[in-house]
Chain A
């Protein structure tokens, strides 16, 4: 047993449902107790979905516990088959119902005899994989199932498209800014004169999977989902793939060059270097921005980064190599991808953190006292408690991470978006100088209401007043440093004089 208050990645069935609900006309049935269909609430709330989420539960109740599901699961599958006429029904247990060890495979086989839809059982172990791994596996399972089916019926489209084309694999519902990233990727490939053959799975029907082999290559924008499918397609259909995350200017150009090489290998005569140059200089503002005077103040600022492997590694790269910010530590909760992550960031930050324990991350942040945090919603709240600004760069997310306006993280527009996010997370320029001269501007609030920790030492009224003038987000730090200084000097009371001396001592 583990005492847990919070988890970064959800249970396995969420991953399966995210894949199933990304496809068009695929219905998922959960073999689950009442109340486990919370996925529908998230889908409908976070994505503000207009359609009913194609997920229903075959409810496991006391009777099922006593006698087994018997015909219930089969009836629910065939019923959905008639009501919704889906192409595919995916049956998935949850953590709970998976320990019932009912022969769900048998139910699936029997139900598929009576239904027009294909029926498969999501093949994931609920105690060994998390949401993201399960999504990766379920996507592979569905693609594999249909490739084999189409192969048998001889309708697999083997001939490549005449012009270069690509499959984008791994854009999934409830993904962090996935919809916007997808639009940005479409634009990128349009610019590169590459046709988009398929986007898997977002928005396609399973019948379209027969066109997979027509693509010249596969593109996997995120580490977490799609990798297994791309590897399978390379092994089976000999389709090469690129899995460089196109986030940030440097990685983008690496990514485009890799695409170039793949196409040259297949006989195309192309050169994308002028495109990269043009985009970097004119479309993306971030390269120029990081050289501008405004951005100079960022130099050497301390940041910490935490999130999924894709976003945390890419943001670390951007902070260090594109904006000369010091990343004290970078971390991920994707324990299964630790090695890859370490490889990506080990040379550009002081420490690599691999953990899914939010308390440990909170302690690390408190210890590090960075100028800004880039993390998930959890880190945002940790930042709030410590008065450290935080930019949210990765799921788990809230509804505000499903913005209405166009906010991709990938591609050239993504670089602008990220630059804004980073810049706005730091307290900069004038604000910074105001802090330096102690006065600040945020003096409206009274001392008592914003000073969370109680004073450890006696403060003279003048010193207290001075403290109250310091802007809220650094006040605690100033207070702590001053008290420490006073203690070191064996002083009983913090006076204005001590305060200034402390400041001098710290700044020299």
Chain B
């Protein structure tokens, strides 16, 4: 069990901001899960060798499965404007259309297209009509965004396309006794189904998901419709839905962990004036199925270095599990979009009687490692760059990226989160203690 020295006791969450020298994935990595989610899409990343090298290595074996993604690799002639962007993109997209026949091409703008000010938003509509294929532009670059925020930029761009596809005749198919509800955020299809079913049990019908598993099935979003997010990193998408589509945003905690899922559903019920049914029992049944893991976690401390914006929700869940959170590093903190989640975190800390964690935006990894050495947490959730070196100094680590690639949403996937979190603890207790140094 860890001591809580050096940590000041406060009753409010504290927010700090450091230098932003931290390790995370480039936001273009969203391509790797979005091309799988949107099955009729093709993602074209317009960037340099550096971008290509990152994707090639980060996507691992996926790259060998003929993914529906490619680099439009910029060459010296493109940088110095000796070549015409419009002509070059036309040539490439015509080829993609011919070879792959996608329903939509996404252009992922990168740092380089920002720096050379390539007018992707200007070129896209022209090429779109010329090639007769929708082209959606998202600027998922490392100048402005971190890792999962890439998905946010893509979904924000996609949100603009929502009502252009078909007229609003969804409600005629079945009886809906509340205003249409659209959920935004990319999830594996089976998790979509699980969450849809949870809401159906409360008498709530989900009118559509952004993104849908096919571009041509994008939901219709009309002024006055309700939208709710399932991931904490989707603030641009939320803003776009509110401002451009005039939708009403339900600000709720995120359905991560049984506590989060229940709060998420309750908030939606509340907005629609429905009385939640059987949620308390459902939540406590899930908790009791987690008992084995919770025994391992109780009283242990955790430190989030911060790289994927899931940190607040995960920290809140782990506090519910009886852990002590020292620090929540996070790339970017949208206090308005995450308001309900932050409130729940605070309430959970008070309920569990543990210290309020410090939330550090744009963290500095060097300083963090200093603090980790002082605090000696039982678990550090961090990127792969620091995991092995920390393990070598005797600190348990969990690779943070796994949380973005595993199903973690809803009641039924809570176990998966704890499976991940407890893995280093279980592994280390199953390894023998050597009487020599490693």
CA distance A44 to B112 in the complex (A): 27
Q: How large is the interface on A (under 10, 10 to 19, 20 to 34, 35 or more residues)?
A: 35 or more
Q: Cβ of A430 < 8 Å from any Cβ of B?
A: no
**Are the CB atoms of A95 and B50 closer together than 8 Å?**
yes
Find out whether the CB atom of B23 lies under 8 angstroms from the CB atom of A40: yes
The contact of A51 among B20, B23, B112, B392, by CB within 8 Å, is B392
Is the beta-carbon distance between B388 and A38 smaller than 8 angstroms? no
Q: Are B53 and A11 in contact (CB under 8 A)?
A: yes
A3 at the interface (CB under 8 A from B): yes
* Interface residue A53 (Cβ < 8 Å from any Cβ of B): yes
Q: Report how far A94 CA is from B112 CA in the complex, Å.
A: 10
Per-position 1/0 for A32-47, Cβ under 8 A of B: 1111111011101100
Q: Are A44 and B89 in contact (CB under 8 A)?
A: no
A293 within 8 A of B: no
Given contacts A2-B75, A49-B388, A59-B21, contact A65 B143 (CB under 8 A): yes
> Is A35's CB under 8 angstroms from B25's CB?
yes
Interface check A433, CB cutoff 8 A:
no
Whether B111 contacts A33 by the Cβ 8 Å rule is yes
Considering the chains assembled together, what is the distance between the CA atoms of A65 and B117 in angstroms? 11
Q: Which residues does chain B contribute within 8 Å of A4, judged by CB atoms? A: 52, 70-73
Decide yes or no whether A236 CB sits under 8 A from chain B. Answer: no
Please tell me if B64 contacts chain A, counting CB pairs below 8 Å: yes
> What chain A residues lie within 8 Å of B116 (beta carbons)?
99
| Interface presence of A56 (CB below 8 A) | yes
Contacting A at CB under 8 A, from B375-402, are 383-389, 392
Q: Is the CB of B143 within 8 A of A37?
A: no
Instruction: Decide yes or no: A48 and B20 within 8 Å by CB, A2-B72, A35-B147 being known contacts.
Output: no
Q: Per a CB cutoff under 8 Å, which of A14, A45, A57 touches B388?
A: A45
Which one of B48, B76, B146 has the highest number of Cβ atoms from chain A below 10 Å of its Cβ?
A: B48
> Can you name 14 A-B residue pairings with CB atoms under 8 Å?
A1-B75, A2-B73, A7-B49, A11-B48, A34-B20, A34-B142, A37-B385, A40-B23, A41-B385, A51-B389, A53-B389, A83-B366, A95-B112, A96-B111
Report the separation of the CA atoms of residues A38 and B383 in the bound assembly, to the nearest whole angstrom: 10
The contact of B70 among A5, A57, A76, by CB within 8 Å, is A5
* Chain A residues within 8 Å of B369, by CB: 52
CB of A403 closer than 8 Å to a CB of B: no
Q: Is the CB of A1 within 8 A of B24?
A: no
Closest to A378 in B: B64
Which B residues fall within an 8 A CB radius of A? 20-21, 23-29, 46-50, 52-54, 56-58, 60-61, 63-64, 67, 69-76, 78-79, 83, 88-89, 91-92, 95-96, 110-112, 114-116, 141-147, 366, 369, 383-389, 392
Task: Report the separation of the CA atoms of residues A305 and B7 in the bound assembly, to the nearest whole angstrom.
Answer: 60
The one of A13, A49, A56 in contact with B50, judged by C-beta atoms closer than 8 angstroms, is A13
Q: How far is the CB of B31 from chain A (nearest CB, A)?
A: 12
CA–CA, A498 and B53, complex, Å: 50
Closest B residue, CB atoms, query A43: B385
> Residue A100 contacts which of B72, B83, B115 (CB distance < 8 angstroms)?
B115
Given the known inter-chain contacts A44-B389, A128-B76, please indicate yes or no for A94 contacting B384, CB distance below 8 A: no
Find out whether the CB atom of B64 lies under 8 angstroms from the CB atom of A381. yes
A13-B50, A34-B24 provided; 18 other pairs, C-beta below 8 A?
A1-B88, A1-B89, A3-B71, A3-B92, A7-B56, A11-B53, A32-B142, A34-B26, A34-B143, A36-B50, A41-B385, A44-B385, A50-B388, A50-B389, A52-B389, A65-B143, A96-B115, A127-B76
Within the assembled complex, what's the spacing in Å between the Cα atoms of A94 and B71? 17
Please determine whether B384 and A44 come into contact, CB atoms closer than 8 angstroms.
yes
Contact in complex: B112, A36 (CB < 8 Å): no
CB-based contact A34/B146 at 8 Å: yes
Bound Cα distance A33, B142 (Å): 5
Tell me the bound Cα distance from A154 to B60 in angstroms.
50
Q: Which residues of A contact B147 (CB under 8 A)?
A: 35
**Are A65 and B114 interface neighbours, CB within 8 A?**
yes
Tell which of A32, A38, A52 touches B386, judged by Cβ atoms closer than 8 Å. A52
CB atoms of B76 and A49 under 8 A apart: no
Residues in B neighbouring A36, C-beta threshold 8 A: 26, 50, 54, 142
Point out the residues of chain B lying under 8 angstroms from A163, CB to CB. Answer: none
Residue of B nearest to A385 (CB): B64
Asked if B49 and A44 sit within 8 Å, CB to CB, the answer is no
B390 nearest CB across to chain A (Å) = 9
* Smallest beta-carbon distance A378→chain B, Å: 8
Q: Are B52 and A7 in contact (CB under 8 A)?
A: yes
Say yes or no: B144 contacts A61, CB within 8 Å. yes
Chain B residues with CB under 8 Å of A52's CB are 369, 386, 389
A34-B57 Cα distance, complex, nearest whole Å: 17
Q: Please judge, given known A-B contacts A45-B388, A50-B389, whether A65 and B115 are in contact too, CB under 8 Å.
A: yes
| B29 partner residues in chain A, CB cutoff 8 A | 35
Which residues on A sit within 8 Å (CB–CB) of B91?
Answer: 1
A60 interface residue, CB < 8 Å from B?
Answer: yes
CB within 8 Å for A99 and B50 given contacts A35-B142, A50-B392: no
Interface membership of chain A positions 113-150, coded 1 if the CB is closer than 8 angstroms to chain B and 0 otherwise = 00000000000001110100000000000000000000
| A6 CB within 8 Å of chain B | yes
A269 at the B interface (CB under 8 A):
no
Judge whether B57 and A6 touch: CB under 8 Å. no
Query: Complex Cα distance A51/B392, Å?
Result: 8
Q: Does A62 contact B (CB under 8 A)?
A: yes
Chain B residues within 8 Å of A35, by CB: 24-29, 54, 142, 146-147
Write the chain A residue with the least CB distance to B60.
A398
**A10 at interface by CB-CB < 8 Å:** yes
Partner of A1, one of B21, B72, B385, B388: B72
Which of B20, B23, B76, B95 counts the most A-chain CB atoms under 10 A from its CB? B23
Contact partners of A100 in chain B: CB under 8 A: 115
In the complex, are the beta carbons of A60 and B143 less than 8 A apart?
yes
Contact A10 B383 (CB under 8 A): no
- A51 closest partner in B (C-beta): B389
Cβ A14 vs Cβ B53 within 8 A: yes
Q: How far is the CA of A333 from the CA of B287 in the complex (A)?
A: 56
Q: Top 6 closest A-B pairs, CB basis?
A: A35-B26, A33-B142, A95-B48, A40-B385, A50-B392, A11-B49
Which residue of the partner chain, among B20, B26, B56, B112, contacts A61 with CB atoms under 8 Å?
B20
CA distance A458 to B389 in the complex (A): 60
Min CB distance A17 to B, Å, is 12
B72 touching A3, Cβ below 8 Å: yes
| Chain A residues in 8 Å Cβ range of B63 | 5-6
A58: nearest residue on chain B (CB-CB)?
Answer: B21
* Distance between Cα atoms of A42 and B142 in the complex (Å): 19
Interface centre among B56, B143, B145, B386 (most CB of A within 10 A): B143
Most buried by B among A44, A49, A59, A76: A44
User: B389 — nearest CB in chain A belongs to which residue?
Assistant: A52
Give the contacts of A423-469 with B (CB-CB under 8 A).
none
Measured CB to CB, the nearest residue on chain A to B27 is A35
B79 touches A127 (CB 8 A): yes
| Inter-chain contact B57/A42, CB cutoff 8 Å | yes
**Nearest chain-B residue to A45 (Cβ)?**
B384
Whether the pair B384, A95 counts as a contact (CB closer than 8 A) is: no
Report A-chain residues with C-beta under 8 Å of the C-beta of B56. Answer: 6-7
Contact B71–A53 (Cβ < 8 Å): no
Distance (whole angstroms) from the CB of A305 to the closest CB of chain B: 20
| A53 with B385, Cβ < 8 A, contacts A2-B72, A59-B21 known | yes
Which residue on chain B has the smallest CB distance to residue A380? B64
Which chain A positions have C-beta within 8 A of B144? 61-62
> Which residue, A50, A96, A127, has most C-beta atoms of chain B within 10 A?
A96
Asked if residues A10 and B53 are in contact (CB atoms below 8 Å), the reply is: yes
Give A61 Cβ to nearest chain B Cβ, in Å. 6
Q: Quick one: CB contact mask for A72-102 with B, threshold 8 Å, 1 for yes?
A: 0000100000010000000000111101100
In the assembled complex, the Cα of A445 lies from the Cα of B378 at a distance in Å of: 47
CA distance A59 to B57 in the complex (A): 21
Within 8 Å CB of B111, what residues of A?
33, 60, 96-97
Specify which chain A residues have a CB less than 8 angstroms from the CB of B69 in the assembled complex: 5
